[in-house]
Each structure stands twice: as structure tokens, then as C-alpha cells.
Amino acid sequence: MSQKDLKEAFVSNLNGTSLQEVALGSLLSPVYFSVLILPLVLSCTILSSVLQHVIPSLLLVTLCFYCYVHLKNQHPQNTVSSFLQSHVQYKQIPFVTIFRVLVNVKTAISILAVDFSVFPRRYAKTETYGTGVMDFGVGAYVFANALVCPEARGKSFSGSRMNHIKKQLLSVWPLLALGMGRLVSVKMTGYHEHVTEYGVHWNFFFTLAIVRVVASLLLAVLPANRSWVYAVMISGLYQLALEKTELKAFILHNNDREKDFLHANKEGIFSVVGYVALYLAGVQVGLYVMQPRSLVRQWLKVLFNLSFVSLALFAALWVCQTLTEPVSRCLANLSFFIWSVAQSLLFLCCIGFADMVLLFSKKTSGCHLVPSSWSLCKKQSDSDQKTDDMDGLCLVQAVSRNQLFFFLLANVMTGMTNSVVDTLSCSSLLSVCVLVLYMFMNCFVIYLLHVCGSQLNSGEVEFVKLRDESVSWGWN
């Protein structure tokens, strides 16, 4: 077999891992506040088999922290009460920004790491059914973008609906251009590709573009505050079509890819339906999270509510898999929709609770070096100034400002790395070194853009003052 065939076989016919192991990665989010890149690289390579030992260690550290706070403060109840009534300042909602950045960074690591043997095969994208870590990454990426889209931020369109539709069609041209660029480069260079992921000519950039346009068109005529209803209806009707028609058999078993465009790209085309539903669910969560709040106890209530929804969805997932079929990223079926939302909310809540623990530690210890992304203030009028500590998290801000460009850069660097490194024969140590160097180069470029005040948004470069400009929220 040629090297190209070997690499294609290496990422094909995989069945994923358990729901518990995918969720385990979300519980490691407190570690990512101190070191962003290295734990993510190690967690999906040489430490993937011992992740279950990290959680007890973190719990032990947390217990020691609370013991320290209890001993230091003679009136812990008053401290907690005071903390709950505190006001917070923010320009961006920290746990949403960090969630989006972590999803993007993890995606960048995984798209190259999957080509190395040190990357567990159970983490890779599954062939038909299953719950690989990279399967969740695809759903989380769509969900993360929906969280901060204009509709989720309550922005109503101005002018006629036709003008709004034209604006949305024009806004995704960079994604379409990137999709065409990737298609041409892959075909011209003979780069290995897994056609059962999206099809012969389709790729994730095309999916992102179509999902954004379709969701915007729906929300132009339907109230955004009922997005969850449309999401459930679309996903449910799509699942019904899979069960009651020949659609499922066509997507999974019809391999006559040379017949026409539909046959060649059936996975990518039909899975768009499930991703639209997932995007609409993200819009609903975004609308809830983006509501103005200032008290710590209000944000804790948000996190507890999201946690409850996540648990309820995991229960619904069990029912759905029992009565219909397992999770399938290839189909983007109802189980995949429920799992992606449930796991995304779990990940989001883990980050939010971890940040609240850090904020509590910062308040009780009086140590300003504690890396919390929130800022406390004494009264409501101060919180209205919308200033926070996120500017100190340089790499987080750098990736957040240019998320689409970071994703593109990671794809280009992945192709370049595969062209000069025999990924299949690398040792574990060399694989980790290559991945760390690859991420260093990605982060170095994106950091330089951040320092220079450059923001690549929808294909344009805007030079802005960092102190005056907030993060780029999404596709506008």
C-alpha cells in the first residue's frame, strides 16, 4: 500500500470510545486555566490512558484549598454570603470565551494528532456509529459559534428581510472560499482524505457556511427565543426520515460515489440538517447566557441551570439510543444532536464553575495573582463599566479574536507537517514534540496578530486598539 493509502486506512473504520471517557476530558478544564496547550496535547497522547487518575488529584487539591480557606477565615459563612452578593465586571462572558477557545485549540491539536499512532484510535472520528472525542469536537465547534452569533446576542436585523438574506449570503463567502481552497489543494497534492467523513468534494468549511446561512434564514422569519423548539423539531423530523425511509441506508451503504454529486457527498449534504438543529440549540443557550447579570449568585444560578439541562439531556440520550439508534456523527442523527448539546453544556459548566472557584479564592485570599477571568466590584454602578481580567489571558484573547483564521492556519500547518513528517512511524516522544512545535507555531502567529492589533474577520483585516476593542464574537 502507498503512504496515502496507509494514512487513509489509519483514520478509517473506527468506533470511538465511551461517553464517560469523552466527558472525562471536560472535567479537566480547571487545569487548562494555568497551562492552555500542553495539558491538551498530553491528554490526547501519552497521558490518554491515565486521565482517570487526574480527577481524584484535582479533587484532593480542591479539598485542600477549602480546608485552607476554612482555617484562614473565622467566619466562612459570612465570606460565602459576601461572595454571592458580589458584583462582577466583564466585557465578555469569560466561560463562554474560554469554552470557544478550548474547542478551537483542541480541534487544532486533534486534526494533526489523529495522524500519529500515539493518538488513541478510540478518540478519532467514528466511521458510522460511536462517540469519539473528535466526533464531539465537530459538534462542539458548531455549538460554540452559535453561542455568540448575532441572533444569540439579541441583534435584530435592520431593513427588509431580503437585504438581511443577502447580507447573510455574503457573510459566508470566506468559508466557501476556504472550502474551495481546501478541496483544490487536497486534489492537486494527492493528500490523504477520509471520504466517508463528508464526501468526495465536501468538507467542514462548506458545512459551516451552509449551516450559518440556513439558520440565519430560519431566524429571520421565526422568533429566536424559540430556537430550541425548532432545533428539536428539525432533529426529530430528520430522525423520523432516517427511520421511515431509505435515507439511512443510502447514506451509510450506497457507495456509488461516481454517479452524481449527491452520491459523492451524501454524508456532508444530509448531515447539514443535524448541524442546523445543533446550531439553533446553541442560539437558544446563547440567548439565555447573554442576558445582562452582575451578581455572582446570578451567574452561579445560570451554571446550575445549565448543569441540570445537561444531566437531563444525558438521560434523554440514553432513552434515544435505546429506542432509536446510537450516536452517529456521519448521519448527525437525533442521538448525535442530544449528545453534542449535553456534552457542550457539561464542558461549559465545568469551565464556569472552575472560574468561580478561582474567583472565590481570589476574594478570600486577597491574592491578585490568582488567574480568574472575572473581576469583582463593590457595587452595580462599577459593574456597568464592563472591565475584566480577560485582557491578561493573552493566548486566550489572541485565539478568540481570530478564531476562524486560527482554524484555517491549523489546517494549513497540518498539511505542511504531514508532507515532511512520516507520522505513522514516529515514536511517542517524537510525536509529542512535533505536536508541541506545531501548536507553538500556530499560537505564535496568532499571538503576533493579537499584539499588532490585527483582527481577521469575514475575510477583512481590521486594525484596532486592543484596549478599546472587545473580542470578535462570531460571523457578522
Nearest to 249 by CA among 169, 147, 330: 330
With a threshold of 0.95, does the pTM exceed it?
no
**Where is pLDDT greater, at 237 or 7?**
237
pLDDT of 356-405, one tens digit each? 887 887 777 665 555 667 777 766 555 555 554 555 557 888 888 888 88
Asked if residue 337 has pLDDT above 80, the reply is yes
- Helix, strand or coil for residue 200? coil
In sign, the C-alpha dihedral spanning 306, 343, 397, 35 is: positive
Taking residues 102-114, report their average pLDDT.
91
- The reported pLDDT for the residue numbered 2 is 66
Looking at residue 393, its pLDDT comes to 57
Q: For 130, phi and psi rounded to 5 degrees?
A: 140, 170
Going by the DSSP 8-state scheme, the letter that residue 456 receives in this structure is E
Q: Tell me the domain boundaries of the chain.
A: 3-463
Give the up-direction half-sphere exposure of residue 17: CA atoms within 13 A in the CB hemisphere. Answer: 21
pLDDT higher for 418 or 77?
418
Alpha carbons 134 and 21: distance in angstroms, whole number: 12
Indicate if the pLDDT at residue 155 is higher than 90.
no
Phi–psi pair at 73, nearest 5 degrees? -105, 125
- The closest alpha carbon to 412, from 108, 209, 9, belongs to 108
Cβ(25)–Cβ(140) below 8 Å: no
Q: pLDDT for 212-223, tens place per residue?
A: 999 988 988 888
CA 97 to chain centre: 10
Nearby residues of 377 by Cβ (< 8 Å), 6 or more positions away: 86, 87, 88, 89, 383, 385
pLDDT above 80 for 66: no
DSSP 44: T
Say yes or no to pLDDT of 458 above 50. Answer: no
Asked if 340 and 136 touch (Cβ cutoff 8 Å), the reply is yes
pLDDT above 50 for 474: no
Rounded distance, CA 35 to CA 267, Å? 37
Residue 55 φ then ψ, to 5°: -60, -50
Residue 410 has pLDDT above 60, yes or no: yes
Q: What are phi and psi of 440, to 5 degrees?
A: -60, -45
Render 247-294 in DSSP notation, one character per residue.
HHHHHHH---TTS-HHHHTHHHHHHHHHHHHHHHHHHHHHHHHTS---
* Of 396, 417, 278, 297, residue with least CA distance to 337: 278
| Strand 460-463 with 454-457, pairing | antiparallel
CA end-to-end span of the chain: 46
- The pLDDT of residue 346: 94
Q: Please give the pLDDT value at position 175.
A: 87
86 to 376, 381, 447, 461: CA distances (angstroms): 7, 12, 33, 39
* Residue 76: other Cβ atoms inside 10 A: 14
DSSP category for residue 155: P
Q: 460: part of which helix (H) or strand (E)?
A: strand 460-463
Q: What was the pLDDT predicted at 365?
A: 66
Specify the higher pLDDT residue, 73 or 242: 242
pLDDT of residue 464: 34
| Residue 26: per-residue pLDDT | 58
Q: Is the CB of residue 320 less than 8 Å from the CB of residue 338?
A: yes
Average pLDDT (30-39) is 61
Chain centre distance of CA 459: 21
CB burial of 290-318 (b: ≥16 within 10 Å; e: otherwise) equals beebbebeebeebbeebbebbeebbebbe
**Percent of the chain clearing pLDDT 90 (strictly above):** 33
Query: In the predicted model, what is the mean pLDDT of residues 149-160?
Result: 75
Distance CA 228, CA 448 (A): 39
pLDDT at 193 over 50: yes
Concatenating the DSSP letter of every residue in 458-476 gives TTEEEE--TTT-----S--
In the predicted structure, residue 130 carries a pLDDT above the cut 80: yes
- What torsion, rounded to 10 degrees, do the Cα atoms 210, 215, 220, 221 define? 110
